[in-house]
Structures are given as C-alpha cells and as structure tokens.
Homo-oligomer: A and B are copies of this chain.
C-alpha cells in the first residue's frame, strides 16, 4: 500500500493560536540570530508579520517568551527566555512523538 501519514499540530490558548509550526520556526530563528529582523529575513517574512506573531505569543503566554536586549555591547537584539526555549523543546518533542505514533497507527489500521 505504501501509505504515509502526515500531521500538523498547533497549540491554542484562550481559543486563539498560541504556538504552531510557523511560530516555532520564528522563535528558533530568533534564538539562532539574536535578532527579530534577522530572524524574519531568514524566513523570508516581513518584519511587521514577524513582530505581530511574536507579540501575539508573548501576550498570550503566562511568562515572557522573548525579551528585547536593550543594553550593552550587543544591545538592540531580541533573545529567547528560558521559558521560550522550553516551549520550543516541548512542541518539537510532542510533534516528533505524534509522527511516531501516527506511523504505528497507519500500520495498524491502513495496511
């Protein structure tokens, strides 16, 4: 049969999207580049769109996810908080577990 099963997951909070694959990609790019504008550029996303996405995540979260780094030699950048990093790890763990689970499900029900 050679079926493949695919999935897309997202997390909602207060009935709005809190985290999805796009937001996770953006958070990871911020972590890698230390800058929202560089992160947006690396994903070919407008700065405005990136800012809105991050603002939405931050406002919906119980703890801050990104911080503006305003002082010092590397001032002006944007960094992830430890909580932001935890969220990425959790999302990616769940996503990977879901893929493995679905591979087993398809073997069970669609072969």
**Chain A residues with a Cβ under 8 A of chain B:** 1-14, 18, 62, 87, 90-91, 93-94, 97-98, 101-102, 105-106, 109-110
Contact = CB atoms under 8 A, between A and B. Distances in A.
Copies of this chain, how many?
Answer: 2
10 contacts: A1-B13, A3-B11, A3-B12, A7-B9, A7-B98, A8-B8, A11-B110, A90-B110, A93-B109, A97-B105
Contacts of A98: 7, 98, 101-102, 105
A105 B94 contact: yes
A101 to B, nearest CB: 5
A10 B106 CA distance: 11
Nearest to A15: B4
Contact of A102 (B9, B90, B110): B9
Contacts of A62: 1
A78 B14 CA distance: 43
